[in-house]
Amino acid sequence: MTRYARQARFNEFGEVGQEHLSAMHVLIIGAGALGSHTAEMLVRMGVNHLTVIDMDIVELSNLHRQAVYDEEDVSALLPKVEALKEKLRRVNSSVQVDALYEEVTNTNMLELLERVQPDIIMDGMDNFKMRYLINEAAIQTGIPWIYGAVVGSKGSVYAFDHTGPCLKCLFGSMPETAESCAINGILPPVVQQVASIQVSELLRYASTKGFSKLLITVDSFDMQFKTLNVDALKNADCEICTHYNYQLLNQNEHSPIEDLCGDATRFRFNPQAFDYANLIPGTLYKSNSFAKMIRYEDYTFTLFKDGRMNVHGLTENSEAKKLYDLILKSLK
Using CB under 5 A, list all residues that contact Zn ion. Answer: 166, 168-169, 238, 240-241
Contact 141, 117 (CB under 8 A): no
* Residue at 33: amino acid letter: A
Is 104 in contact with 87 (CB distance < 8 Å)?
A: no
Cβ closest to Zn ion, residue 239 vs residue 319: 239
Give the DSSP H/E element, type plus range, for residue 71: helix 71-75
**What are the DSSP calls for 231-276, one per residue?**
GGG--TT-TTTTT---SSTT-----SEEE-SSSEEEEE--GGGGTT
Strands 257-259 and 224-229 turn out to be unpaired
Q: How far is the CB of 219 from Zn ion (least distance, A)?
A: 26
Residue 71 CB-density burial (10 A; 0-12 exposed, 13-18 middle, 19+ buried):
exposed
Query: Using CB atoms within 10 A of its CB, is residue 311 exposed (0-12), middle (13-18) or buried (19+)?
Result: buried
Would you say 239 or 258 has its CB closer to Zn ion? 239
CA dihedral sign, ordered 171, 177, 180, 184: negative
The distance of closest approach from Cβ of residue 240 to Zn ion in the complex, given in angstroms and rounded to an integer, is: 5
Quote the least distance from Cβ 130 to Zn ion, whole Å. 17
The residue among 44 and 234 lying less far from Zn ion, judged by its C-beta, is 234
Q: How far is the CB of 140 from Zn ion (least distance, A)?
A: 13
Task: Pick the closer one to Zn ion by CB: 52 or 166.
Answer: 166
Going by C-alpha positions, the residue among 131, 218, 137, 138 that lies closest to residue 177 is 131
**Smaller CB distance to Zn ion: residue 52 or 249?**
249
Type of residue found at 132 = Y
Min CB(309)–Zn ion separation in Å: 36
Element spanning 215, H or E: strand 214-219
Residue number, nearest CB to Zn ion: 238
What minimum distance in Å lies between the beta carbon of 146 and Zn ion?
16
Q: Which is nearer to Zn ion, 87 or 213 (by Cβ)? A: 213
**Which of 247/287 has CB closer to Zn ion?**
247
Cβ(192)–Cβ(37) under 8 Å? yes
| Min separation Cβ 186 and Zn ion, Å | 28
Spatial separation of the C-alpha atoms in residues 124 and 146, rounded to whole Å: 9
Q: How far is CA 34 from CA 38, 126, 157, 197, in A?
A: 6, 9, 11, 11
Closer to Zn ion at the Cβ: 13 or 160?
A: 160
